[in-house]
Chains A and B, each alone.
Chain A
Amino acid sequence: MLATATERQGFAGGMFASMRGATGPLIGLIVLCLFLTFASDKFLSIRNFLNVLDQITVLGIMAVGMTMVILIGGIDLAVGSVMALAMMVLGYLNVVAGVPMWIAIPLALLVASLNGLIAGLLITRFNVPAFIATLAMMSIARGLANMITDGQQIIGFPAWFNTMAIVRFGGFLTLTVAVMLVVFAVGLLYQRYRHGGRVLYAIGGNAEVARLAGINVQRATVLVYVVCSFLAGLSGMVLAARLDSVQPSSGVSYELDAIAAVVIGGTSLSGGTGGIGGTIIGVLIIGILRNGLNLLSVSPFMQQVIIGGVIVLAVTAETYRKRK
């Protein structure tokens, strides 16, 4: 009797392993929502919730890629710059060169992915630390983004592009939010149930154990950086649609927001534990916090202070819980 009880518990533990370490952040999210419900009468409404979803699309998509990088014990500082580069490539191709959107968007995503490929190869073939490799790519991508128009913004996308971020289909979802939800779902399923996703945990847990277990650590690592850069490019497409324009100064310090969301969501910077489930909660915490603080008319400067405090709180709470 006792044995079957523990067995069942163990099985359930396995089922929710992707959420492991995310129970703390989830409680934090619920507490935050409860607090804002009482503090502001505008907070608890479907309209406001849909607003929050619109506001977190860019961060949400980017953070999924960052989670995979951090899961294998890496880091990607280039995502903000890569996003800007992808946006400028899109603007140049479509508005300046007159390439139709259905070709311009894939090409912009390809350029973004190439950044990840270079970073990944630097890390695996030339043993450059991930921090340095992506720091270099951050600078290179930002410079290239600026070179395209000599720092100028580009406007003049086709009219339907902006409606992707504005029109709520069925009165509910904008296309950009739908893109984010698809990325979340695919990311969650991949990480939890795909061969390639499970392997990331092994690499982050101990790369040498993974290599000796017959896992192609180098290929998986390159792939993760490519996916992370691809998703940074995709978040750039979403931002371009939201702004209906592109400028090379977009996305400065977005990499830090993405890292913050991942860490708040319970993924350890040393790799091997956590996951996209937690990151989604982390993204929601940041999004709802910003939304709530705006509703309460807290100054943007004070908001920065509060978000810093939340990062500290989330990580210390998690560390404390683990020690117990």
Chain B
Amino acid sequence: MTTQSPILSLRGIQKSYGPIRVLHGVDLDIYPGEVVALLGENGAGKSTLSNIISGTVQPSAGEMTWLGAAYAPANPRAAMDDGVGMIHQELKLLPKLSIAENVFVGRYPMKAGRVDRRAMGERARSGLKRLGLEISPDRLVEGLSTGKQQLIEIARALTLNARLLILDEPTAALGGEETQLLFQQIERLKADGVGIIYISHRLEEIRQIADRVVVMRDGAKVQEFDSGDVPIRTIVEAMVGRSLERMFPALPTPREGVTLEVRDLTSPTKAFRNISFSVRKGEVFGIAGLMGAGRTELVRAITGADPISAGEILLYGKAVTPRSPIDAIRNGMVLVPEDRKLQGVVLNHSIAENIGYANLGAIARNGWVSSRRLQQFADECIRKFGVKGRGHQNAGELSGGNQQKVVLAKWLARKPQVVVLDEPTRGIDVGARSSIYDLIMDLARQGVAVIVVSSDLEEVLGVSNRIMVMAQGRQTGILDREDANDVSVMELATI
């Protein structure tokens, strides 16, 4: 596809942690001005590979060549100095500092031995402008939406004049418009001859942005396509190593009778206003919308995590408007929150403890919690909900999908009436996604009212009986499954 020599060549890269080998000799070439999509399930070795390129991790064996010379960065700083920019999946910004300071942290522009704050502000402003962000660089990062923070991280890499950019799930938290802005920027970078490694779980994007697709599985490169225009099914099959029968399980039919009713709900911050809807027994109710539409705020309020200034919530016709998570949980309304690592599990505690925290009342006898009962309770949940792990393992050692199952397990053990899932599969690999969908359908079949919030349009469409669309804090419509498709939802989302 190009006669140029590659920016970066990998030959036989291996990585082992103790006896466990996570990379089995990967070969990869990145040419100037191309986007290589690096795909694979979680644990396939994508992150390890990108960490090796960006100097965070050292390979156990193999060689790398950077612009024709041997390349072995000892640390991220060395890689950065050579021109490798890495944008991590988890945001690495300092919330209490200004945008400009975040963009230049560690390499402030200097003038006469002092930090040149004016130059810093100007260069940050132009960097933001390149990404179409009209915010003052003096603003603090704290309080910015996740999508904006992501773009600031990208602006930081751009000011480095990187020759190679690694984007690890850059669009996981971006709405449609922000994603398009990012893609425009990527096109511009390509024209500048920058090579890009693009890691994503959103396969629809790949067709739009990638020039080449590399699929990894179990630490090895399993397939390479010389074009981004590959059918999603083909990619997924290469990723999971088997052919997929279906992406979404069949939806059960909702039963008669309303479980949950929300009337004129309004938040004190006006993040959402006058929201009314009802969810039937055994129904999966999707909530779609762009970033900042108020979906997360709404479902957090319904489950008592955030305050409500007006309106009420009824469960089986009885007013139960919760004032705290405890209120909601007592009524059988539970939340699987958006951010697993910050809100869902305590990472350095064991699976058993994490499951226990929501069920101490059931485990304890007269307030006494025995280790044996905790262990038995957790083992039961682990088995029932298919968590791949053992009770004593720390939640932090699990894959995203399994962490999510731990969060689900801790709630489902309480036999809830209403289960709210906020971005249930964000950052979770394809194989694990379908088992989460299966769990959702099981719940519906048992008569639980399920609410699913998702930025992944295909997902909301695939799992919901009905979909409510929100835009800027208002509800713009509720669509039945038959009427819902990407066009009708996006129309309502952009009103």
Q: Is the CB of A199 within 8 A of B360?
A: yes
Q: Is the CB of B358 within 8 A of A214?
A: yes
Number of interface residues of B (CB under 8 A): 39
Chain B CB within 8 A of A206 CB: yes
With a cutoff of 8 Å between Cβ atoms, the chain B residues found around residue A201 in the complex are 346, 349, 353
Chain A CB within 8 A of B348 CB: yes
Q: Is the CB of A272 within 8 A of B390?
A: no
Binary flags per residue of B257-283, CB closer than 8 Å to A gives 1, else 0: 000000000000000000000000000
Chain B CB within 8 A of A210 CB: yes
Chain B CB within 8 A of A151 CB: no
With a cutoff of 8 Å between Cβ atoms, the chain B residues found around residue A205 in the complex are 346-349
Q: How far is the CB of B380 from chain A (nearest CB, A)?
A: 14
Chain B CB within 8 A of A47 CB: no
With a cutoff of 8 Å between Cβ atoms, the chain B residues found around residue A42 in the complex are none
Give the number of A-B contacts (CB < 8 Å). 101
Q: Which residue of A lies closest to B352 (CB)?
A: A14
Which parts of A136-195 form the interface with B (CB within 8 Å)? 192-195
Chain B CB within 8 A of A308 CB: no
Q: Is the CB of B342 within 8 A of A208?
A: yes
Alpha-carbon separation in the docked complex, A204 to B330 (Å): 23
Alpha-carbon separation in the docked complex, A174 to B448 (Å): 60
With a cutoff of 8 Å between Cβ atoms, the chain B residues found around residue A209 in the complex are 342-346, 357
Q: How far is the CB of A185 from chain B (nearest CB, A)?
A: 14
Chain B CB within 8 A of A27 CB: no
Chain A CB within 8 A of B109 CB: no
Give the secondary structure class of A's interface: helix
Q: Is the CB of A193 within 8 A of B305?
A: no
With a cutoff of 8 Å between Cβ atoms, the chain A residues found around residue B349 in the complex are 201-202, 205, 272
Chain A CB within 8 A of B59 CB: no
Q: Which residue of A lies closest to B328 (CB)?
A: A214
Q: Which residue of B lies closest to A210 (CB)?
A: B357
- Of the four ranges (under 10, 10 to 19, 20 to 34, 35 or more), the interface on chain A belongs to 20 to 34
Binary flags per residue of A270-285, CB closer than 8 Å to B gives 1, else 0: 0011000000000000
Chain A CB within 8 A of B143 CB: no
Q: Is the CB of B392 within 8 A of A10?
A: yes
Chain B CB within 8 A of A32 CB: no
Q: How far is the CB of B405 from chain A (nearest CB, A)?
A: 16
Chain B CB within 8 A of A17 CB: yes
Alpha-carbon separation in the docked complex, A214 to B369 (Å): 17
With a cutoff of 8 Å between Cβ atoms, the chain B residues found around residue A195 in the complex are 360-361, 364, 367-369
Q: Is the CB of B390 within 8 A of A10?
A: yes
Binary flags per residue of A193-232, CB closer than 8 Å to B gives 1, else 0: 1111111011001101111111110000000000000000
30 contacts between A and B (CB under 8 A): A7-B390, A9-B392, A10-B390, A10-B392, A10-B393, A17-B371, A193-B371, A194-B364, A194-B368, A195-B360, A195-B361, A198-B353, A198-B357, A199-B357, A199-B360, A202-B346, A206-B347, A209-B344, A210-B346, A211-B305, A211-B324, A212-B305, A212-B325, A212-B335, A212-B344, A213-B325, A213-B357, A213-B358, A214-B326, A214-B330
User: What is the interface of chain A, defined by CB distance below 8 A to chain B?
Assistant: 6-7, 9-11, 13-15, 17, 192-199, 201-202, 205-206, 208-216, 272-273
User: What is the interface of chain B, defined by CB distance below 8 A to chain A?
Assistant: 305, 324-326, 328-330, 335, 337, 342-350, 352-353, 356-358, 360-361, 364, 367-372, 374-375, 390-393, 410
